[in-house]
Amino acid sequence: MQIVHTIKDLQLALSLIRQAKQAIALVPTMGNLHPGHLQLVTTAQQHADTVVVSLFVNPTQFGANEDLDKYPRTLQADIEKLEAVHTDILFAPNIADIYPHGSEHSTHVHVPGLTDILCGASRPGHFDGVTTIVAKLFNMTRADVALFGEKDFQQLAVIRRMVDDLNIPINIVSVPIVREPSGLAMSSRNGYLSAQQRQLAAAIHPILLTTQQALIDGFSDIDSLRDNAAKSLNDKGFRVDYVHILQRDHLKPATKKDKELVMLIAAYLGSTRLIDNITISLP
């Protein structure tokens, strides 16, 4: 694996690949890699000749009271994991290269509407940070394809919209959630959970599955399904941020006519915010 730390070195490496007419895939990450990230890499290998993983803890997507400082930086372990899955290039830039005018004073990309709801409502400015860094990474790599996990369902929708709105010539591929044997969706933030909280966190997935099955079985009272799910989470000791059942493609409130839905949960265990979701196709 080639490791590059500057945009200049990245572009030098990629120009040789482009000259050889090879397709390039980008897997953007903030490091602290887990099997979910590695699944993005192995899926990327099916879509392109060369896979670039970016590793950058992007300050602009963290709110003032969020975990930027304590976000785990595990570069050496991440390198070993990426090498084990035969990643071609690791791009691990420093902040001055990415935000040469300072992260607060640079141009931002804002996707209206989709970013005002769900995690966007709870974490103001978060998605502006995400779309800005992702647009920058798309520009730096000029990748043919980029891969994102479905765990961050809203992030995926926001990035797809940005790509459409800005006519960015890149194919966005989504990769299903990778779960621990307990059902807990893999996330870098799971590392903040105590052993007891980790056991408790596994309760989210069965709640998603039960609601999915109820909808498939014809129970169509979305409000009461949502309220029951929120109550179950509260009863188990979560502090619920939101539970929503929405139209899958537009993230708008689902009506009885909609067939393609997504149920999304954000809930805190202690100070750790967990998100998860499930898609639902009604007969």
Q: Which residues are catalytic?
A: 37
Residue 29 touching ligand PAF (CB under 6 A): yes
Q: Compute the distance between CA of residue 69 and CA of residue 97 in angstroms, rounded to an integer.
A: 19
Strands (E) across the chain are located at 2-4, 24-29, 50-55, 89-91, 145-149, 171-175, 239-247, 260-269, 272-281
Residue 28 touching ligand PAF (CB under 6 A): yes
Q: How far is the CB of 244 from ligand PAF (least distance, A)?
A: 20
CB-nearer residue toward ligand PAF: 40 or 85: 40
Q: Compute the distance between CA of residue 161 and CA of residue 226 in angstroms, rounded to an integer.
A: 26
Residue 128 touching ligand PAF (CB under 6 A): no
Q: How far is the CB of 11 from ligand PAF (least distance, A)?
A: 19
Residue 130 touching ligand PAF (CB under 6 A): yes
Residue 150 touching ligand PAF (CB under 6 A): no
- Those residues with Cβ within 8 angstroms of residue 91's Cβ, 6 or more apart along the chain or in another chain: 4, 5, 10, 52, 53, 54, 55, 56, 140, 141
Q: How far is the CB of 54 from ligand PAF (least distance, A)?
A: 7
Q: How far is the CB of 49 from ligand PAF (least distance, A)?
A: 22
Residue 133 touching ligand PAF (CB under 6 A): yes
Straight-line distance from the first to the last Cα atom of the chain, in angstroms, rounded to the nearest whole number: 46
4, 25, 30, 163: which one binds ligand PAF (CB under 6 A): 30
Residue 85 touching ligand PAF (CB under 6 A): no
53 neighbors 75 (Cβ within 8 angstroms):
no
Q: Compute the distance between CA of residue 277 and CA of residue 272 in angstroms, rounded to an integer.
A: 17
Contact code string over 43-62 relative to ligand PAF, x by CB under 6 A = ---------------x--x-
Q: Compute the distance between CA of residue 184 and CA of residue 172 in angstroms, rounded to an integer.
A: 25
Q: Which residues bind ligand PAF (CB under 6 A)?
A: 28-30, 58, 61, 130, 133-134, 152, 155
